[in-house]
Amino acid sequence: MTGDALFDERLDFQLYTASRLLQQVCQSRLGERGLTYTQYLVLRVLWERDNQGAGDIGQRLGLSGSTLTPVLQRLERGGWVARSHGMADERRLLVRLTKRGYRLKEQLGDLAEAMVSEAVGVEMGEAELSQLTALLGRLNGLLSRR
């Protein structure tokens, strides 16, 4: 890819646009439950492995503490997570799912994947979406090493 590519053909713009559109598609379903896309991502991390340090969640999602703290506070107020300080280290803030948070997983499942499949399922098959996901994962891994 050269610097002479038309703006709408540039990789950075295509990634930005796809991310924004995916968030918009998911937000319609998340908004019904009073969740933002960022809150959903935090819940996804916890559904994968519960009872994690807030710093670990932030690192996984690339979020600073000042961005993550209000997200966790809103999730706690909503009854989806509980926060507590670690026994061994009082400075470590642990985040765990509540029963309501676990129930939400059953209700939402893999919302983003389902919404993408629903939106582009006919035009892009499962194999093509898997290939795209793998390529984006590789790109993200390469960029994160810089």
- pLDDT for 2 beyond 70: no
> How many CA atoms within 13 Å lie on the side-chain side of 96?
8
Name the token pair of 106: 């059953």
Which residues, listed in sequence order, are joined to residue 52 by a DSSP beta bridge? Answer: 95
- Map out the domains of the chain as residue ranges: 7-144
Residue-wise pLDDT tens digits, 26-79: 888 888 889 999 999 999 999 999 999 999 999 999 999 999 999 999 999 999
Q: The domain 7-144: what is its CATH number? A: 1.10.10.10
- Which pLDDT does position 1 carry in this prediction? 52
Burial class of residue 138 (count of CB atoms within 10 Å of its CB; 0-12, 13-18, 19+) = exposed
Residue-wise pLDDT tens digits, 112-125: 777 777 767 667 77
Is the pTM higher than 0.95? no
8 Å CB contact between 72 and 83: yes
Beta-carbon contacts of 131 under 8 Å, excluding residues fewer than 6 positions away, are none
- pLDDT for 129 beyond 60: yes
